[in-house]
Chain A
Amino acid sequence: EAGVAQSPRYKIIEKRQSVAFWCNPISGHATLYWYQQILGQGPKLLIQFQNNGVVDDSQLPKDRFSAERLKGVDSTLKIQPAKLEDSAVYLCASSLERQPTGELFFGEGSRLTVL
């Protein structure tokens, strides 16, 4: 079974530029999450999708971050314009169902460096 795919693995940009990250979840997984992991911290949820609908985006900085999952499969996370404090690893995860008891399956992450 293929895992969660993410690209690019690494991205370096200057502040005020834009960047986009792509995620392809495990086949059949209805729930998709984007997490931000700053160095030395645990993952922090940015947004959760159930199929192609947003379930929770309360911690997404909507003035600069946006995410979509148009066909209920792949997802894209965009940052525009980027700030220095956005330097982090962006993790995509998926789960089979939207249940509290289910574990998440993570991709390898996209490391963003903002100069």
Chain B
Amino acid sequence: AQSVAQPEDQVNVAEGNPLTVKCTYSVSGNPYLFWYVQYPNRGLQFLLKYITGDNLVKGSYGFEAEFNKSQTSFHLKKPSALVSDSALYFCAVRDGGSYIPTFGRGTSLIVHP
């Protein structure tokens, strides 16, 4: 079985400050982890993924995520937030035997000017 949790419904951050959006997961095998972003009235857009290798993964729009196996976490980060980063962020996981990703409930990121 696979599951993912996003413990924060909303994250508020000032423009220019670093941001972190949290994600923890549970899988029975090796995890394949993804972050997607959803802007208002739009579909989800792929940001980045962890499959194997370096624990720090870099993605689109300056985002990165750190895979931590011992803590079963895959937090999304950005060194300096922009107002335009305000959106819904979804973490998703697949284990090695599954072809279907399971999505978290999403975290609303609000970046204040």
Residue positions of A touching B, CB distance < 8 A: 4, 6, 31, 33, 35, 40-45, 48, 55-56, 91, 93, 98-101, 103-109, 111
**Stretch from B12-20, B44-52, B66-74, B76-84 contacting the other chain:** B44-52
Question: In the bound complex, how far is the Cα of B36 from the Cα of A106, in angstroms?
Answer: 10
Main secondary structure of the interface of B (DSSP, over half): loop
Min CB–CB distance A57 → chain B (angstroms): 11
Shortest Cβ distance from A4 into B: residue:
B43
Question: In the bound complex, how far is the Cα of B45 from the Cα of A106, in angstroms?
Answer: 7
Cβ–Cβ contact B90 & A42, under 8 A: yes
The interface residues of chain B lying within 8 Å CB-to-CB of A103 are: 34, 46, 49
Contact partner of B99 (CB less than 8 A), chosen from A6, A40, A43, A55, is: A55
Take A41-B105, A42-B103, A42-B104 as given contacts and tell me if A100 and B43 are in contact as well, using a CB distance cutoff of 8 Å. Answer: no
The interface residues of chain A lying within 8 Å CB-to-CB of B32 are: 100-101
The interface residues of chain B lying within 8 Å CB-to-CB of A45 are: 100
The interface residues of chain A lying within 8 Å CB-to-CB of B42 are: 108-109
Asked whether B94 is an interface residue with its Cβ less than 8 Å from the other chain, the reply is yes
Q: Mark B52-70, 1 if CB is under 8 A from A, else 0.
A: 0000000000000000000
Contact partner of A105 (CB less than 8 A), chosen from B34, B46, B98, is: B46
Cβ–Cβ contact A98 & B99, under 8 A: yes
Cβ–Cβ contact A109 & B43, under 8 A: yes
Question: In the bound complex, how far is the Cα of B49 from the Cα of A105, in angstroms?
Answer: 13
Most B C-beta atoms less than 10 A away, residue of A44, A93, A104: A104
Cβ–Cβ contact B44 & A100, under 8 A: no
The interface residues of chain B lying within 8 Å CB-to-CB of A93 are: 43-44
Question: In the bound complex, how far is the Cα of B96 from the Cα of A98, in angstroms?
Answer: 12
Q: Mark B81-112, 1 if CB is under 8 A from A, else 0.
A: 00000000010001111111101111000000
Cβ–Cβ contact A107 & B49, under 8 A: no
Cβ–Cβ contact A100 & B98, under 8 A: yes
The interface residues of chain A lying within 8 Å CB-to-CB of B44 are: 43, 91, 93, 104, 106
A-B pairs with beta carbons under 8 Å apart, 8 shown: A40-B105, A44-B103, A91-B43, A91-B44, A100-B96, A100-B99, A101-B32, A104-B46
